[in-house]
Amino acid sequence: MIGQQIDANPTDNIRIRIIELSDRDDVLNFLRKHFYPDEPLTIGSHPDPEDEEFNISLIAHGTCLMEVQQQSVNGILKERIVGVVLSGPKCSDEAELLFKEAAHLGSTTWGKIVGILAQAERDSNVYERYNVERALHMHVAAVDESLRGRAIGMRLMEKLRELGRELGYPLMTTDCTSLYSAKVSERMGMDCVNIIKYADYLDEEGNVVFNPPLPHEYIKTFALRL
């Protein structure tokens, strides 16, 4: 299935389209190769099945995009994924839901990730800050490691912004766990509304929960009015 086309660049045979449910396995394989190994919150560990399932479940909202390059293999036109963004709706009770989920999951890898995202959600408080009841939240942005530095992530985020506007979302948000994703959000003109320094995020015993390699020192939450 080709899917709904959002944008195309005939010069390099690359286009952006909405991710379909039939793309599930291809997207998951792409994330396992080009997202999880470099994601600061999961570096050095295998992807948690609940983490993967949550990210893939976002496809059903119709708000996930991928950039694909069409290639001819033995006369058959095929798509090569070069970048994806996975996003979904969130509402003003998001922080409360995340804290409950983190408590339920406990000290699992996914539980720890949900915990820091819950704090970021609570402290950024975008609903009161922007006087909105809901937002389109980008959970994942990933680019083929061999094609990074070619503005693929920026194009995907710009198209996500356009899609969010078309769907009537008043706000787009994202939690940038890496230095590089934060730089893309800054170039997009998004507002940085909260910062958590990894070295300051401790468990109940006073131990640092996440210790990613440099240059990743913060999780920064960004927001943009649509």
Instruction: Answer for the pair 195, 168: CB distance below 8 angstroms, yes or no.
Output: no
Q: Is the pLDDT of residue 11 over 70?
A: no
Report the C-alpha gap between 12 and 216 in whole angstroms. Answer: 32
Instruction: Answer for the pair 86, 140: CB distance below 8 angstroms, yes or no.
Output: yes
Report the C-alpha gap between 143 and 69 in whole angstroms. Answer: 13
Domain carrying residue 109:
5-225
Report the C-alpha gap between 50 and 152 in whole angstroms. Answer: 27
User: How large is the average pLDDT for residues 79-99?
Assistant: 96
Least confident range from 74-78, 151-155, 185-189: namely: 74-78
3-state secondary structure of 107: coil
Per-residue model confidence (pLDDT) at position 10: 46
Between helix 94-105 and helix 109-124 the angle, nearest 10°, is 160
User: In this predicted model, what pLDDT tens digit does every residue of 183-205 receive, in sequence order?
Assistant: 999 999 999 999 999 999 999 99
Per-residue model confidence (pLDDT) at position 3: 45
Closest CA to 63 of 93, 81, 85, 83: 85
CATH code for position 112: 3.40.630.30
Question: What's the pLDDT band for 2 if we cut at 50, 70, 90?
Answer: very low
Encoding tokens for residue 216?
């990743």
- Which residues are CB-contacts of 18 (< 8 A; sequence separation ≥ 6)? 3, 4, 6, 62, 64, 65, 163
- Which residues are CB-contacts of 125 (< 8 A; sequence separation ≥ 6)? 193
Question: What backbone phi and psi angles, to 5 degrees, belong to 50?
Answer: -70, -35
- With residue 67 as reference, give the H or E element that holds it: strand 65-73
User: In this predicted model, what pLDDT tens digit does every residue of 109-137 receive, in sequence order?
Assistant: 999 999 999 999 999 999 999 999 999 99
Instruction: Answer for the pair 125, 62: CB distance below 8 angstroms, yes or no.
Output: no
Does this model's pTM top 0.85? My answer is: yes
Closest CA to 34 of 2, 82, 76: 82
What total number of domains does the chain contain? 1
